[in-house]
Structures are given as C-alpha cells and as structure tokens.
Amino acid sequence: MLTSSGAGRAVERTPGATAGKGLRVRKTGTTAEGGTGTRGAGRRLLVTAGPTHEPIDSVRYIANRSSGRLGVAIASAAAARGWDVTLLLGPAPIEVGDPRVRVERFRSTAELQGLLEKRFPECDVLVQAAAVADFRPVGGDPGDGQVKMRRGDGPIALRLEPTPDLLGWCAEHRRPGQVLIGFALEPADRLMASAREKLDRKRVDAVVANPLETMDSPDVEATVVFRDGHEERTGGATPKEDFAVWLLERVEAIRVPER
C-alpha cells in the first residue's frame, strides 16, 4: 500500500493489501517483458550506484556493504521506459543485463567525481543512488601500486578526511531544468529528519529515505520527500525492481523551471 502526506497528486492504494505487497506500478510506457517504452523518450538519465573503495594502501581499502542493486534496477527500468541511460557503477559484484544501459565503472569517490564532472552536464535527470563514502584515508594509495603497510609497522592509526560532497557539487553546477534525486540512508529513528535536512541542504528536488536495512537487501522500504513538501512511501518492504519503476513514475512527473 502506498501512502502520501502533504500537497501533491493522489497516490494509488490497493484495497486489502498487506504492507509491502500492495505496491502498484503503472505499466504505461513499459511491458512486463521489458519492452521499449515511451515515458522517458528523449530524456537523458544519469544514475550512480554501488559502493566506493577508499584506498588505505595499494592492497587495502575502506568500503561499505552497498550491492548496487537498486541503482542497476533504476537504470534498467528507465531504459525499458525509453530513457537514454548512463549508469556510473562502483565496485559491486553485479552486472547490467540490459544492453541499452551504458555503463562506466569507478572505484573511489575521486573516480566517481571525475565521471560526474564529465557526464552530469549532459543529463536531464540525475539519480544519485551510489553509497559514497563520507571519509577517506589521508594519503592512501599514491597511484603507483607499490605501497603496502606491514604488520610490523603497527600499531597504526588511520587519519581520515571528508570526501567531496558530490551531490552538493551537482546541485551547485546544475543547469536550469535539470532534476536531481538524492538518497538518505540512516537509522530509523533519524531517517526522516535526515532526509528533509538533506533535501534543503543539497538543494535537490527529491530525497529517497531508506532505513539501514535496505543495504545489501533485495527489498527496499522507502519514503520519498519532494521539494514541494509532499511525501510518498512504499508502505512496506518492496522488491527493488518494483520500487525502481514506482520511483521513475514520480521522477517523470517532476518539472523544474527551465530558467
């Protein structure tokens, strides 16, 4: 069952459905077999997905448990709906089966930053689903692949520095008419407050609020907070592939000033 609050369009409800089982997605513009759709025709979508690996030395790194599955599902669903899709995919053990999706790989936040600087100006919509590290080791791998800390060098204290705010950079450099969608992954007790704060601080058009349990899970239970103040939620755990279509329907309805 889907629910909403605040101003905005009506939300579909499935009578008698149990939580997580009543998510209804309109099939306009796509088919159950993944045929070509028209809802996103002519629009360019840039999706980021997966974790980042922040090098400690040439062998070790700091990472997270992101599977990249949700971002891949969004990219694949968008391609089926007629979008022109580019997916920036981190070091996750997942492949993209849809040949219509252009895939570029990254490992670190720095590599993703370089790809965004190149690809973001070309897109109409950015869905920033990647789980980008908040901190990275100072120094790390200098790039020659020849640095390895030895056990006898310990004890070792890692000094961390904040990573660049990639979504904030995109918001600062967006052109008129571009739509930006961010994600917030937090414990349940501060999830919604964090999502609303991120919406304002990052100056994006919507934020998808996910509880921590979403990471590395086949399902997602999310609430989407929109710039106009209204919110929509899945009402329960939903397969990420179904959620991707549901989210795209809402993204396709977002319009921002062209100037």
The answer to whether the CB of 75 falls within 8 A of the CB of 45 is yes
Residue type, 81: R
Q: What is the pLDDT of residue 74?
A: 98
Find the length of the chain: 259
Q: What is the pLDDT of residue 2?
A: 41
State pTM to two decimals. Answer: 0.84
Distance CA 185, CA 214 (A): 8
DSSP 219: E
Distance CA 10, CA 24 (A): 13
Spell out the domains of the chain, with CATH numbers in brackets.
Answer: 3-15+38-123+132-143+155-253 (3.40.50.10300)
Distance CA 179, CA 221 (A): 23
Distance CA 36, CA 4 (A): 30
Mean pLDDT by 10 residues, the chain (259 residues): 38 35 45 48 92 93 94 97 97 94 97 98 97 92 73 82 97 96 93 95 95 85 94 92 96 79
Beta bridge partners of 131: 51
| Alpha helix positions (H), 34-92 | 69-80
Q: What is the pLDDT of residue 23?
A: 57
Q: What is the pLDDT of residue 257?
A: 67
Q: What is the pLDDT of residue 145?
A: 67
